[in-house]
Structure 1
């Protein structure tokens, strides 16, 4: 890549003709040969930029790399990175082997036991609470079951969580939005308070947990591909924020898991219904374990085993001041403002791209927009007219 980057400008300098700089002394002139020469140089520079951008996108674009585990600057004695273990020295190999024995023979059995206890108690507890009629007692018992079992499950992951600005914790009747890395995000947040969940329907182990959760608390699960489910979610959200005594709703507007290095486009649906938005930034420390769930590569059980054989799950959670939609601000602008605030607080890269690109192809509208921008650049530099002449 470096070779291509260095090589291309040298070849591009030969496009048209090589023009000495002393012929462009009259830069202020807007007509005549000097102006035309300056425009030609600007056109060549723009062409260089476009070609280099294309090469960078081929080698490593800024979108698809967000859907795989983050590469570490230094190895953390795990095989969780994209590059498997490589022999370095006998001493380091012995340390790694010792770490494998500790993680798989000591920590893993204890963690599996805690996870089994936590999930079993959760399924049994929510099933029993779900038999009660809706009342303040049922809500109280539901919160106790959720908090207790989620804390047990976090212990099963050796979770170490640092909460910041707890005075800004989401309040009842509000909407909590956060960046999304994995289903563990729900455990991390529910350890410090209960929420009404809104999310995609899953199968397998995740599906069992979802069906158990909805028995005790009015969570909302939907199928993203069904349009009628989307309308149902919007209706449910509007009804929820109308009751100020309901638990805050937890939503991940990105709609998919990102590797915790960036924040991608927030879907506007969550920001169209009004109400108070409580932003939350979640940042994991990858040195102790990889919390990112690559759902296209691992199922839930495989993912949990990878996490449980890591050293620990260490993360910071920042509660942020509540935000409301400003006068004259549309839903997209509001969503972008909230996203920017979360990215800044969590030290994440802000990207305008849709996380749906993880599974879907790039929309034709995006391609057409890039083509239009490139056409405008060529026309603006006068290159198109010169070619036609």
Structure 2
């Protein structure tokens, strides 16, 4: 037994020395020694070779490629009215009059069957389908023997991931979290001078960089000139809890979230001592006005860090962006959109919280090949409103044209400059919901994600009755016609 400990402690000392010198210290200062880059090059070559072997062994991969990208159900972007009118094309008179047509039943039947087979919502709460197997057992549950070389490569990968990468990543994560708690606690005892804020940001960024190295994260940041500034609100699509690590690896943010207990509670309290993060009790989270006021007070202080918020409220599977809650867009101030897109070839970053606990999820991340993602900083956006000068111009034009005959008023409007015509016809700007949808569409377009109007809360709740009533009202309007009354 003494001989075991005589060997164990020197090996452990060498292990920690290599981790600290070769990985942790370079990560803290944003320096790369090329270890991760070399590992990624070897990994890409291995996966390309494996993909080639799989495709050569079976052309069924081509079928999988198309089904993964297009889905089982082929849908178009037609609305309810357009599709029903297409079914009524043999009865144009009834379509104009708005009478009920028996063929309307076919639309609802088809839509219902499509939703049972594959709907646009629930499939966003499961892992994304891969084009080709990436040598992870969990991404190929129906794995069949393909070739001896591929089986040997898979076996070597298991040894590397669980025998080398997993202990290394656990070590780095433990060091990163420990340094976060210790560093922020020490900074918290300093007086509130400018140096305290600088040290707090330095500690946060260093710790997140260590944790990112613990996941073998390769992050590509684009358009860094658009990085969120103080007094602003950073909103991003949400795929995983590690989204925070990905973003905070490049800049420091004020976090918003619910107060937790246990280890997470210890980390939250330590972080709050050195930086003005915003943590809410469960009862406070239900008070929407209280939450909005605290966030607004933070944004109004231009010396505080930008707030990081994920308006979807839940994790979506890296293929789409779902409805943004309007609360983040009622605060006011400047919104800094950020699009995050992970590469599923190296590891599935999506957290299915209804299926895996946080510990199970982190274990899956630490036994993946790597975390590779792109982050796009988009230009800042503000809510579109019409100022008082524009309103005065509209009032003058409206009062002038209202006193003229209809023909003269029309001719006058044609002579008015296009900008003033726009002011007259425009609404009083956009509300919080419209602003949130505009930001969401911008993020989806940049990240190559599907823009969905559904609420991510459907991950755990049933469809709201109001959504059903909207569809019922649309169809009722078609049947009853324009003469219907509320």
Question: Normalization by structure 2: what TM-score?
Answer: 0.68
Against the structure 1 CA distance between its residues 251 and 78, is the aligned structure 2 distance closer, same or farther, given a 3 Å change threshold?
same
Which residue of 357, 360, 363 corresponds with 1:299? Answer: 357
> Which stretch shifts more, 125-134 or 177-186?
125-134
1:169 equivalent in structure 2: 227
The offset of 1:186, in angstroms, is 0.6
Find out whether 1:352 has 2:352 as its counterpart. no
1:249 equivalent in structure 2: 307
Secondary structure of 1:298's counterpart equals: coil
Secondary structure of 1:55's counterpart equals: helix
Deviations 1:89-125 (A, max 9, x none): 1322222111111111111111111111111111111
Against the structure 1 CA distance between its residues 225 and 342, is the aligned structure 2 distance closer, same or farther, given a 3 Å change threshold?
farther
2:141 equivalent in structure 1: 84
Aligned residue pairs: how many?
356
Find out whether 1:261 has 2:319 as its counterpart. yes
Against the structure 1 CA distance between its residues 366 and 137, is the aligned structure 2 distance closer, same or farther, given a 3 Å change threshold?
same
How far apart in 2 are the matches of 1:147 and 1:141?
10
Question: Normalization by structure 1: what TM-score?
Answer: 0.84
How far apart in 1 are the matches of 2:271 and 2:203?
10
Contact preservation (8 Å) 1:77, 1:96: yes
The offset of 1:220, in angstroms, is 1.1
How far apart in 2 are the matches of 1:232 and 1:76?
47
Against the structure 1 CA distance between its residues 226 and 190, is the aligned structure 2 distance closer, same or farther, given a 3 Å change threshold?
same
Q: Which entry has the higher C-alpha Rg, 1 or 2? A: 2
Which residue of 144, 150, 162 corresponds with 2:208? Answer: 150
1:232 equivalent in structure 2: 290
Contact preservation (8 Å) 2:99, 2:478: no
Unaligned runs of 5+ in 2: 1-70, 75-87, 386-428
Against the structure 1 CA distance between its residues 364 and 38, is the aligned structure 2 distance closer, same or farther, given a 3 Å change threshold?
closer
Q: How does 1:21-170 map to 2 (within 5 A)?
A: 35=93, 43=101, 45-81=103-139, 84-91=141-148, 92-170=150-228
More helix by share: 2
RMSD: 2.8
Unaligned runs of 5+ in 1: 6-18, 382-389
Against the structure 1 CA distance between its residues 282 and 224, is the aligned structure 2 distance closer, same or farther, given a 3 Å change threshold?
farther
The offset of 1:39, in angstroms, is 8.1
Which residue of 283, 298, 315 corresponds with 2:373? Answer: 315
Deviations 1:188-216 (A, max 9, x none): 11111101111234445433332332222
How far apart in 2 are the matches of 1:295 and 1:146?
26
How far apart in 1 are the matches of 2:450 and 2:212?
27
The offset of 1:221, in angstroms, is 2.0
Against the structure 1 CA distance between its residues 204 and 300, is the aligned structure 2 distance closer, same or farther, given a 3 Å change threshold?
farther
How far apart in 2 are the matches of 1:121 and 1:3?
48
